[in-house]
Amino acid sequence: MTAIHPTGFDARDRTDTDWWRGGVIYQIYPRSFQDSNDDGIGDIRGITMRMDYIASLGVDAIWISPFFRSPMKDFGYDVSDYCDIDPMFGTLDDFDELIAAAHARGIRVMIDLVLSHTSDQHPWFAESRASRDGPKSDWYVWADPRPDGTPPNNWLSIFGGSAWQWDSRREQYYLHNFLTSQPDLNLHTRAVQDALLEVTRFWLDRGVDGYRLDTINFYMHDPQLRDNPPLPLDQRIDTIAPSVNPYNHQLHLYSKNHPDNLGFLARFRALLDAYPGTAALGEVGDAQKGLEILGAYTAGTTGVHMCYAFELLWAEPLTPGRIRDVFAHVDAVAGDGWACWAYSNHDVPRHTTRWGLSAQGQRCHTALMMCLRGSVCLYQGEELGLSEAELAFDDLQDPYGIEFWPEFKGRDGCRTPMVWEATNTAGFSAAQPWLPVSADHMARNVAAQDGDPTSMLAFYRLALQLRRAHPALAKGAMDDVMADGTLLSFTRRHDGAQLRCLFNMGDDPVDTELGGSWQSVADALGGAAPDGGRLRLGGWGFAILARR
């Protein structure tokens, strides 16, 4: 076990109902975090075993990717029973122990709810497909074929091909925005909403502190089933789907983002409000209107608390101009809402590889993340500086990667096991892991970095401490966002405190005039200090300054 590193994070305070605003959430992909029973697959007890390590990071909450009963065609994002743990991951008792262990350390627990679709092996779908006039006949999205037998419209699946699958039982097509084994629920049906809210209540009663809501903008479709229009070639951004996927050829105007979704989210929020201190984080999957949807879904008190779009998950490297433009866009369309930012997660290549970052570049980006207005998601292994793992085709498990190989290699490269120590299986398991451990990751294992004040792990711990020490960074306003060549600067303000944040996002040194008298608050991170009214930032250097 890794020793606890005190971060000043007090025991869990249930009175802090606003903890999520500016909070830092650590995403755990349970299959790859820690295996407790040596079957090669991570599990719930494994997470509990590593709770001291998680606490040592200083995060506010963990988000655990799905662990519900599932045939695992999409590794848990195809749920066959929302109210039970898949035996692969453990039992409900194991989960109760995890909750207790997290709460004892002041860590909140968020779980990943997949409400847009189920597995085709869910009992609801079995009943729905059995009859056109049964009690659950309208719980999924069914449609007759066109006169020539083809699907009812041109909607496409993210995983390739038509979003419609023929079912011989009903002699109709059903909608699936993802795999054919993931039929879409029909949330226009009130009874479906009621059932999903009961699922939500089940886990709230079990003690969870909130939810990450998978594909939150896919919950509702256009009931008229109108064709999506084509997307102009110059707007086909490689973000939500890789460029080789024809999904990028459409403007998904009708297959998702339906305005009636706001009514369901209001019902969802009202349920969470009955459990003070809980919060919801929505994933907005849209390349064209992601920030607009974020704004609509988080405005006021009738939507979810926060959402993340994909602006900082794109393949395109961050530049000062991009950061300036993103936050100007947020101010314009989501000024009353709340964003959550991430560089990496279980669906995209790790940002160290995606952006080709040096060690100093990683530190600069991490310091920047801790200074941005919004909440933060960190993905397991990010704090170790892990790169995207290279896998052979024969090792792939992800159906997405298998479908589009080799132009798109899928998501397995960011899902390889966590590296805890320098052994053959990296301390993850005594058995052969479900995905191979990356040889490139081995030297970056936790045991090697723990206690090394120069390590990436130490830097992340210190960066989180800095954010916690300065409420202006977590909850304050952000203004004066300026881009000058490779220099990004902005100001954070809260309750009279003012911090100036400057980042050199390039290799060459940058000099700038500050105006006024400032002092560094990031010495422990290696942040630059001013010399009088001037500041020099080396390549990928940064400074976080407070007025004297």
Which one, of 392, 441, 394, lies nearest residue 417 by Cα?
441
- Report the interhelical angle of 261-273 vs 290-298 (nearest 10°): 50
DSSP-derived secondary structure for 69-104: E---TTTTSS-SEEEEE-TTT--HHHHHHHHHHHHH
pLDDT for 234 equals: 80
Cα separation, 421 vs 310, in Å, equals: 32
CATH 3.40.50.720 fits 24-116+190-469, yes or no: no
Model confidence pLDDT, tens digit, residues 130-178: 999 999 999 999 999 999 999 999 999 999 999 999 999 999 999 999 9
pLDDT for 12 equals: 42
Q: Which residues are CB-neighbours of 24 under 8 A, at least 6 positions away?
A: 58, 59, 60, 61, 375, 376, 377, 378, 464, 467
pLDDT for 13 equals: 53
Q: Where exactly does CATH 2.60.40.1180 map onto the chain?
A: 477-547
Reported pTM: 0.96
Catalytic residue among 35, 112, 283, 412: 283
pLDDT for 339 equals: 98
Catalytic residue among 43, 94, 209, 214: 214
The answer to whether 491 and 498 have CB atoms below 8 angstroms apart is yes
pLDDT for 233 equals: 84
pLDDT for 243 equals: 78
Cα separation, 66 vs 77, in Å, equals: 6
Greatest Cα pair distance in the chain = 78
**Phi and psi dihedrals of 191, rounded to 5?**
-65, -30
Is 93 in the active site?
no
Q: Where exactly does CATH 3.20.20.80 map onto the chain?
A: 24-116+190-469
The C-alpha angle with vertex 354 and arms to 28 and 380, in degrees rounded to 5, equals 15
pLDDT for 141 equals: 98
Cα separation, 389 vs 439, in Å, equals: 9
Give me the residues of the chain with pLDDT under 50, please. Answer: 1-12
Size (the chain), residues:
548
Is 403 in the active site?
no
pLDDT for 244 equals: 85
Q: CA end-to-end span of the chain, whole Å?
A: 42
Q: Hey, what are 233's tokens?
A: 């070639």
pLDDT for 252 equals: 95
One of 1.10.240.10, 2.60.40.1180, 2.60.40.790, 2.40.160.60 is the CATH number of 477-547, namely 2.60.40.1180
**Phi and psi dihedrals of 305, rounded to 5?**
-70, -40
